[in-house]
Amino acid sequence: MPLKISSVQIADEKELRSLIISNLPSFISGCKILDNELPIPGAPIYILNELHQSVLVVFDLESAARALIKGLNSLDFVMEHGHLMSRIQTMSHMVSVQAAPSLMVIAPGPVPGAKCLQQAPVSILTKVFRPLSVNGEVSIYIEPDTQPELSAVQVVKQIEQADESVMNDDWSGTESIHDIFNLSDEEQDFFTEV
Amino acid sequence: MFENIDHPSRKSSHRLDEISHHFLSDDHKKLTEGHQVPFLPVLMRDSSQLEIIKSINNKLSLNGYCSHIVYIQEMSERMDLEMSERSFPEISLQDINWDNKTSVYNKFRGVINQKGDSDVYLIPVLDIQYRLFDLIGRIVILTDSTLRGISAAYAQIKELSPCALKTINIIMVSDEDVDIALRHYRKLADGVSRFLGKKIVNGGFVIKNVNARLPDGSDFIDVDDVLVQGIR
């Protein structure tokens, strides 16, 4: 049967999460998924790699910079609430308990600052996903983040373009605070300042 | 599943009236009259706020009240609590037949009998539980002292409109100081009053700022006695 491959649009973050979860074992051999969506900022997928090390997998459907910020928010939270992760690790009968999990950022394009992140004290991997239709079935291809070098100005510009709500304290990413809470225009206006 | 608890009845107060006559003897009194029910659900943003509830529990004890934390079994599982951290007996909402008044009564009376009398039993909850809130008649919402935090609290209060709640207490959680937390609280109170025509009651402040810490290193917590006075 001929293989028909074409690019395709992914509907929403939920579908992307599902596709990443189903494809994780194909590019991280021996990985074990501990939690499909940790209830912490960035809502990462929580996995163990083949070395029994914990990894937080974050992603964003539309913005590489936003994916990165989500990941950094997740790491921040974990570092501040290490006891919670210890609980999860204990519950999962992990062999080795790390001080901090590593981070994998899966983005629709090159992640700003990827080269710099490779030197970070915490392991941060960046990947790029390509949504594909294979014989009519939606899937994703996750590939290494090989990107042209960016100047510092370009990096800053990309990060500035990330959704401001994520830059502040938004957890879910693509929607504004008021979209999430379903407030009327009048209510939105009221809660924009103290 | 736990999430599938029935959607709120639009006649919540009527239903409360219907079941209340089952609790009118002295033994049942604490479970019927909303202001006297010693159970107090505390609505959290996420399970990380469980530590705050534990701190509030300790603070109430320091203030001379007898206070316990009662876990809902399904919540404990979602919060990944280890067995050693769980305090039994727990309440399983799945086991409650809300339409059988005797069953509801026995469930909560059983907790009181096993835990012993207390001024308050704090119940950590991760999301809105219409049936439970209807039954108890009051809740506490832990609210982050940020615009996002008060927007979220406002949205929750709006969502709680179908519930027969007599009192909504707000405990502000701030990384800064009491003044800023108070400004956020007032903003929330204004919004709730203006748009929803309801009143909220300040239940106190939890200040998670290193500079505001007490000499023993614990967070500054000023929990208002109204939390307990309202249900004694």
* CATH number of the domain within which B55 lies: 3.40.50
Question: Does position B32 have pLDDT exceeding 70, yes or no?
Answer: no
What was the pLDDT predicted at A27? Answer: 74
Interface contact B82, partner A, CB < 8 A: yes
Q: Would the CB atoms of B82 and A91 count as touching at under 8 Å? A: yes
Number of domains within chain B: 1
Percent with pLDDT over 90 in chain A: 4
What was the pLDDT predicted at A86? Answer: 61
Would residue B4 count as lying in a domain?
no
Distance CA B126, CA B136 (A): 16
Query: In this structure, are residues B131 and B97 in contact, taking their beta carbons and an 8 Å threshold?
Result: no
Alpha-carbon A141 to chain mean position: 15
**ipTM of the assembly?**
0.72
Which three-class secondary structure string do you get for B139-175? EEEEEECCHHHHHHHHHHHHHCCCCCCCEEEEEEEEC
**Position A167 confidence tier, pLDDT thresholds 50, 70, 90:** very low
Q: Would the CB atoms of A39 and B147 count as touching at under 8 Å? A: no
Residue (of A54, A51, A16) closest to A33 by Cα position:
A54
Residue (of B22, B223, B42, B10) closest to B138 by Cα position:
B42
Chain B: closest CA distance from residue A73 (Å): 15
What was the pLDDT predicted at A153? Answer: 44
Q: Which range is least confidently modeled, B8-22, B97-111, B118-132?
A: B8-22
B65-to-B60, B109, B221, B229 alpha-carbon distances in Å: 5, 20, 15, 10
Q: Would the CB atoms of A181 and B150 count as touching at under 8 Å? A: no
Mean pLDDT for chain B? 78
Omega before residue B8 within 30° of 0, cis: no
| Residues of chain B numbered 18-57 and touching chain A (CB < 8 Å) | 46-48
B148 → closest Cβ in A91, A169, A184: A169
Question: Does position A174 have pLDDT exceeding 50, yes or no?
Answer: no
What pTM, to 2 d.p., does this model score? Answer: 0.53
Question: Does position A180 have pLDDT exceeding 60, yes or no?
Answer: no
**Beta-carbon contacts of residue B149 (< 8 Å; ≥ 6 apart):** B45, B143, B173, B184
| Residues of chain B numbered 139-168 and touching chain A (CB < 8 Å) | 146-148, 150-152, 154-155
What was the pLDDT predicted at A150? Answer: 45
Pick the residue from chain A with its C-alpha nearest to B187.
A194
Q: Would the CB atoms of A90 and B82 count as touching at under 8 Å? A: yes
Residue B179 CB neighbours (<10 A)? 9
A190 → closest Cβ in B46, B148, B191: B191
Q: Mutating which of A86, A177, A185, A193 best tests the B interface, going by the most B Cβ atoms within 10 A?
A: A177
Would residue B6 count as lying in a domain?
no
What was the pLDDT predicted at B122? Answer: 92
Would residue B129 count as lying in a domain?
yes
Contacts of A182 in chain B (CB under 8 A): 155
What was the pLDDT predicted at B16? Answer: 38
Chain A interface residues facing chain B, Cβ-Cβ under 8 Å?
39-40, 81, 84, 87-88, 90-91, 168-170, 177-178, 181-184, 186-187, 190-194
**Position A1 confidence tier, pLDDT thresholds 50, 70, 90:** low
A178 → closest Cβ in B146, B150, B151: B151
The listed range with the strongest mean pLDDT (A48-52, B126-130, B207-211) is: B126-130
Contacts of A178 in chain B (CB under 8 A): 151
> Which residue range(s) make up the domain with B108?
11-229
What was the pLDDT predicted at B227? Answer: 76
Q: Phi, psi at residue B91, to the nearest 5°?
A: -100, 130
